[in-house]
Amino acid sequence: MVHNLERTLDNIKNEGIRTGEKNKAIEIALKMLKEELDINMIVNITGLNEKEVLSLKKKINKQRH
């Protein structure tokens, strides 16, 4: 029982770390997009996929208009 609880807590912690890393990658990608850097460069540096970066780019473009 205790072992299962420890495993569950580890999973929650790891999920939190992954979520934080993803949020940081999005934050960096947004900054790079605002500087109009190349999409492929943003994908390579942030680890986000092209679809995610293009989605962020669309959001930025909507905010500008």
- Confidence at residue 64, expressed as pLDDT on a 0 to 100 scale: 77
CB burial readout 17-42, b (16+ within 10 A) else e? eeeeeeeebbeebbebbeeeeeeeeb
Number of structural domains, the chain? 1
Say whether pTM exceeds 0.85: no
As given in the structure block, the two tokens for residue 34 are 């605002």
The pLDDT tens digits of the residues spanning 6-63 come to 888 888 888 888 899 999 999 999 999 999 999 999 999 999 999 999 999 999 988 8
CA angle at residue 64 from 61 to 65, to 5 degrees?
A: 95
Are 25 and 32 spatial neighbours (Cβ–Cβ below 8 Å)? no
Separation of alpha carbons 20 and 8, rounded Å: 18
Q: Which residue range forms the structural domain that includes residue 56?
A: 2-64
